[in-house]
Every structure is written in C-alpha cells, then in structure tokens.
Amino acid sequence: MDEDARRNMRPLSLHVPEPRFRPGDAVDFADFDIPDVAAAPRPDIGAMPEEMRSLAYGLVRVLDLDGASGGAWAPRLSPERLVAMLRHMALVRAFDDRMYRVQRQGKTSFYMKCTGEEATSIAAAYALDRDDMCFPSYRQQGLLIARDWSLVDMMCQIYSNRGDRLKGRQMPIMYSAKEASFFSISGNLATQMPQAVGFAMASASRGDTRIAACWCGEGSTAEGDFHSACTFASVYRAPVIINVINNQWAISSFSGFAGAESTTFAARAVGYGIAGLRVDGNDALAVYAATEWAAERARNNFGPTLIEHFTYRAEGHSTSDDPTKYRSAEERSAWPLGDPIARLKQHLIAIGAWDEERHAAMDREVAEEVKAAGKEAEKQGVLGDGLHQPFTTMFEDVFEELPWHLEEQSRQMVEERKAAGI
C-alpha cells in the first residue's frame, strides 16, 4: 500500500474498558434487567450443553426481591435447613468482622472479607457432600464454616501462632484442612482450577464417587490455568464444578478487564462444550439449586458444569485495599440484587419460620461464639509475639524421608544456634 492511500485510512484505536461509576459518581442501576424467577428453565441433568445455551446468558433465580420463592429451580429445603444456612452465613460475617478488626489492631498482617458473597460458599457447601473435594480461592472461608470447622483452628492459621497447623508457612487466610476436604489455598491466581480438574479425573479413573468443586474470581478467568482446566474438564468430562465468583471488581479494576463488557462469564462454558449456568449469587436458594444440579450431573457422569455467581463485593479486596479510590461509595447500597443474608432472612420471615427477634438473638449468639473463639486462639499467640514454631520445622513436611544433605544442614543449623546461644 502506498503512503498516500495509508494517509487516507482511518487510524486504529484501542478500546480501554471503563467502569460505569467512579468515586463521587451518582449510582443508577435503573437499566439493570432482573429476570423473573420463572424465566430460567431447569434442564435434565443429562442434557447436552448446547441445549442449555440460554442459561449461560440469563440469570437463575429462586427468591424474588420480596422474599417469595418460585420457578423451576426452587429447591425443596426444610425451614430448619434454611435457618441453619442463614446461621452459617451470619457466622461467616461475624468471623470476617472480628478478623478485620484484629488486623487493624496489629494482631495479624492481612485479611480478606467475603461480605456480600456469603451465599456463594455457604449454600454451595450445603449442596455438596461432606467429602466432595473443594478447591477454593481466598474468599471461600464459608466452605469451612459450613462444614463446622473449628473457628479457633482458622484463627490460629490467621495469627500464624503456636496452634497454626500450617506452621506459619502460609499467608493469613490461606487455610488447608484435608479432613474437611478443603484443598490448600494458593495466592497464585487460578492454580486451583487445573488441580480440581485433575482431582476429578483421578476420582473418575479410580471409580471413586467423590466429585470436585473449585472457585475463582471473574478476573482469574483471564489466567491460562483457568482455560487449561476448562479444556481438560471438557475433553475428559471430568466430574467437576467450576465456580466463577463475578463480584464485579478485582483489587482495583472492574470486571470489564476480564471480558465482562463482551459477554457473561458463564458463556466461557459455551466455547468449551461445558454446561454453563449464570446464577444470582445473592440468592442462597438459587446457589444451592444450581450447585445441587451440577453435582448430580457430575455424579452421573454427564460431565462438568461452569457456574457464574453474579454477586457484588461489598467491601475492599483485602485489608490492603481502599475501594473508595476506584469505585463509587453508593454502589454497595444501590446494588439491585441486595444482600444475601437479608434476602434469606426475608424469605424465612415470609414463610413464617423466622422473625426479627430471633434474627437479632442469632446475631448476638454468633458474635459471642466468634469472640470466644478469638480469645482462645489468642492464648497461643498473635503476630509479633516472636517465633511460634520450633526452628527445626523448616526442614519438615516436604519429603517423606529427609534427604541426607538436609539432615546435614539441619544438624549444622542446630549446632550454630547452640553456639550462638539462641
């Protein structure tokens, strides 16, 4: 092409995603389309992925915004089970609030809350079997709490104290609990996705009955590990549930940088030939129903499911983050799908199984439970109290049998510390 022709061409431009609202902006979600609870059909668990494409673009809902339930996805759960689910969600929020405060008091270095996202882990845990293997990201503390894991044990890990089962080797909140079928959390984004698929493939190849479930944020779907996981899950029809928590924001960038302007995150499933569901993540009943459906699909060898949980991160990314620097302060209160705890509470009140007095009493009870656990955990130390684990543990828990050169280094270290009077 000659230079004259090139000069007459329109110059290329680059699109840079921009969030709808920035700090100081008035927030208006008036154009937000909330589908009716009856809009999403519930396919058979053996349906082919191409038969349910619409579910990757709609929104599976059970609870309307007035607390009534309905639609094809409505699960048959007893009021007692719903109250138990509500209590666990409230317990997660109380746990988060206390751990946030102790970080601000200097008792630990770091914490991440899941405020507004409690249903995506609690309701999912209720729909899974106790021994189904969970591969979480760093905002799924609700999985452990729903499985009645010790709050003291979780707090000891956060404090990296003498009671820390991980011996101070992990960042705070990166729990690991094999007995709870809870895989070690990693700070590297999306590494848990291929690990979950690998576990599911191994389970299937052994003829086992355990399925796997993994969680990541919407931003992590841009990682190569996510796409590798989807490829293997699709090709081998691995019995796995891939959960994408679309909470609208990464640490300082909105979901558009991961592709939200172009399509839904559930639509990632379409290209891989995986069943895809887009779910109201602030609707505990919808999360339960979608997870139960996906689990049954996996158990019956019909393959994986990708679930996008459409929710909202109500607070900062972590204690190191200030969301007021990049988003409008009005977003949290204006979010059109509300608060997951308030919505489940409203439903229980609507069916006559709950009331404001019992809810207030429950909030006091879980706050006291968390407070008591905190006092117990702090007896074993907090950040800044010095070395909590014996120095020799740095050589342990990697090899089944310690190699000779590490044994030699360990002896040398002990002798040098003894000579130095340490």
Annotated catalytic sites, by residue? 313, 317, 326
Bridge partners of 232, per DSSP, are none
Q: Are 246 and 310 in contact (CB under 8 A)?
A: yes
Q: Are 75 and 292 in contact (CB under 8 A)?
A: yes
Q: Are 94 and 363 in contact (CB under 8 A)?
A: yes
> How far is residue 378 from each of residues 85, 110, 290, 375, measured CA to CA in Å?
28, 16, 39, 5
Residues 6+ apart with CB under 8 A from 243: 120, 124, 213, 214, 215, 216, 306, 307, 309
What is the rounded CA–CA span in Å between residue 346 and residue 317? 28
Q: Which helix (H) or strand (E) holds 389?
A: none
> How far is residue 393 from each of residues 164, 254, 413, measured CA to CA in Å?
12, 41, 12
Dihedral sign from CA coordinates of 398, 400, 405, 410: positive
> How far is residue 379 from each of residues 151, 162, 187, 240, 382, measured CA to CA in Å?
14, 9, 28, 40, 8
Q: Are 100 and 113 in contact (CB under 8 A)?
A: yes
Q: Which of 217, 102, 87, 99 is nearest to 154 (CA)?
A: 99
What is the rounded CA–CA span in Å between residue 136 and residue 149? 15
Residue 219, classified by CB atoms within 10 Å of its CB into exposed (0-12), middle (13-18) or buried (19+), is buried
